[in-house]
Structure formats: C-alpha cells, structure tokens
Amino acid sequence: MGIELNAAVAQKTKPAIEMQSNPHSVKTELITGDARTIDIASHLKLQPQKSVQFVLMHPPYHDIIKFSDSQDDLSNAKDVALFVKMFGQTIDNCRQVLDRGRYLGLVIGDKYSQGEWIPLGFCCMQEVLKRGFTLKSIIVKNFEETRGKHNQQELWRYRALVGVFYVFKHEYIMLFKKGVK
C-alpha cells in the first residue's frame, strides 16, 4: 500500500509499479491522499489483514523541492518546525496500524539554507523516537550522481559556489522498531 498526496505523482507511479515483476501475486494499492489524516485502517479492512509489519516513509526534504501547491504538502510548510510537526502527524497516523515490535523505515536527507546546515534527518528522527520507537540503525547512503544532476557535477558545483548552498551527497536510511507503548 502506498500513500501519495499529489495525484499527478500517484498517476505517474502506477505504470512503473505495473511494469515490475510480481511472481508472488502481491496486491499493490496506491492511495491518493494525505498520509497524516487518511484512514489507513479502513483501507486495510479491504485486505486480508488489519495491521502492517513494515512502514517505509520518504517525505520531502522540507522546501527543497516544491511538489504541489497544497497546504497539506510537507514541502510547503512555512518553516522547519511546522514541517517536523506535520511529519509527526504522519507518524501518528501510520503508527496506529503498525504491529508492536515491527519496523518503520525512514529515508530522509538534510537541508542547507541561507548558509546554515539544517539537520532535517535528525529532527525527523527525534519525532519518531518521541512516539515510542527505538532506533535500530542509521545507514548513510552516499551518492555522487542523481537524476537531478544528469552528469553535470561541475555545473552543480559552480551553482553551489555562486548561490552559497551545499550540494548534498548523502541521505539517511533510518530503521526504527515500534515499542510496546
């Protein structure tokens, strides 16, 4: 089950999912809606289970890329504090259907703004920990190239120097275990 706020992004994702091999006939459901408020339990009732064993979250990195004009979009939060609060609401909603002792994965990076490194990944980590999860692992994924850079490292380096921003070459993959609370 995937939840995506932006309907256009959800529509573009469907063909990519359908192209994947599915030797075990896993049913995939892509839901368009706000992961903070959508009634996940009602969607699960349509499945043979009432809970999940793993949640994977990959939120936007605050306002680095604007994904929509929606006020519900975390990429439109007016500041980091509101972004973190909205992210916490997403955790609260997903936590309800995650079995105790099971896992939540978070893929997130940091942010650089106005000459300041903002540890967005660790701000989000704290939100998860405040909700009864235990941190099991942090994997730092290093990368030199992304699709966004299209083999233009020197251009991006120049833009970073001129624009006084930092070109990140990492993101975190954090793994948490849900406690008994």
100, amino acid identity: R
Provide the pLDDT for residue 9: 86
For the stretch 58-99, pLDDT in tens is 988 777 767 778 788 788 889 999 999 999 999 999 999 999
**Is the CA virtual torsion 38, 127, 111, 147 positive or negative?**
negative
- 111 compared with 54, residue with greater pLDDT: 54
pLDDT tier at 163 (50, 70, 90 boundaries)? Answer: low
Q: What is the 3-state secondary structure (H, E, C) of 45-101?
A: CCCCCCCEEEEEECCCCCCCCCCCCCCCCHHHCCCHHHHHHHHHHHHHHHHCCEEEE
Q: Can you give the residue range of the structural domain that contains 49?
A: 2-178
CATH number at residue 23: 3.40.50.150
| Cα–Cα nearest to 14, from 23, 5, 22, 2 | 2
Averaged over 157-180, what is the pLDDT? 75
**Whole-model pTM?**
0.82
Provide the pLDDT for residue 71: 86
- In the predicted structure, residue 165 carries a pLDDT above the cut 70: no
Provide the pLDDT for residue 116: 79
- In the predicted structure, residue 3 carries a pLDDT above the cut 80: yes
Provide the pLDDT for residue 23: 94
For the stretch 122-131, pLDDT in tens is 999 999 999 9
For the stretch 19-57, pLDDT in tens is 999 999 888 889 999 999 999 999 998 888 899 999 999
Spatial distance between the Cα atoms of 19 and 34, rounded to a whole number of angstroms = 26
CB 136 within 8 A of CB 94: no
- Which residue reads 């701000």 in tokens? 123
Domain tally, the chain: 1
